Amino acid sequence: MANGILIIDKPAGWTSHDVVAKLRGLLRERRIGHAGTLDPMATGVLPVFVGRATRAVEFAAEREKEYLAGLRLGVVTDTQDTTGTVLETHPVCADRPQVEAVLARFRGEITQIPPMYSAIKREGKKLYELARRGQEVERQPRPITIEALDLLDQVSPTEYTLRVRCSKGTYVRTLCHDIGQALGCGGALFSLRRTQSAGFFLDQAVTMDQVSAHPAPQQLLLPVDRYFSRYPALTLRHGTAEKKLRNGNRLTLEGQDGVYRVYSRGGDFLALSRLEQGVLTTIKSFFEV
């Protein structure tokens, strides 16, 4: 039975759901989920959680992400990227120093109005479903954090490559749209590559072709405890303690307060747990029932 994490370098033209559907067949496992949806035009890091590891998806979704984004100035589209319908075009007078200067406005804690072409729901309907019907509804600004925003390269008189490190809930295409608005000429995203997500990087990723061609694709899976490697390990020394944990009971243990990766005497990853004032409580279990 397949259990673990697979870091996919998502190809352009695929939805995140397409990746999951294909992997269900290749890995022969129905329990598959992903952390951090990528639009079809985007490529890069898509962490996929398989089998019992799907219990870690809720933790992975919270971590910051990093992207290489292509910003095209002088154009405004309905989707805020170049896959959409062009609504406006404008001459571009801003040069590279002016673009670099305006980026400072978008670093740190800011608010962002989610785009209509998004999966956010309003009265049970996804916004993109309303947008496809020509409807637009008011969206409330949401707080996000832009940890880093750097201009890496100017690839044409109107196109730039940006590096964006940001919090959960950030729409990079909206960021490009807003930068264009601040410059007075409009802007849209023309390319997007995610280089980091959930603590995983591109050099850990495999392509869908590599997974398809592998004689035993289950061997490509990373163990789920790899995701929690930032927490110290704690090994239960007695079988009675492991039995209590498996039964959902709290344990009395000595040690420093904090969150731990908990293992059996045989080295099996059992749970992510919190030790507080000598009491160990399970946050999420990962053993097979």
Residue of 39, 78, 81, 225 with catalytic role: 39
Residues paired with 263 in a beta bridge: 235, 269
Q: Calculate the alpha carbon distances from 109 to 56, 115, 127, 145 in Å.
A: 27, 19, 25, 4
Q: Is 153 a catalytic residue?
A: no
Give the C-alpha separation, 180 to 282, whole Å.
Answer: 47
The values of phi and psi at residue 227, to 5°, are -65, -30
Rounded to the nearest angstrom, the gap between the alpha carbon of residue 264 and the centroid of all alpha carbons in its chain is: 30
* Long-range CB contact pairs, 274-278, < 8 A, 24+: 275/234, 278/252, 278/253, 278/254
Give the C-alpha separation, 283 to 182, whole Å.
Answer: 44
Write the DSSP assignment of 66-89 as a string of letters.
EEEEEEEESEEESSSBTTS-EEEE
The values of phi and psi at residue 25, to 5°, are -75, -45
Inter-residue contact 69 to 164 (CB < 8 Å):
yes
Which two structure tokens, joined as six digits, stand for 192? 């997007």
Which two structure tokens, joined as six digits, stand for 50? 């398989």
**Closest C-alpha among 89, 277, 272 to residue 180:** 89
Active site members: 39
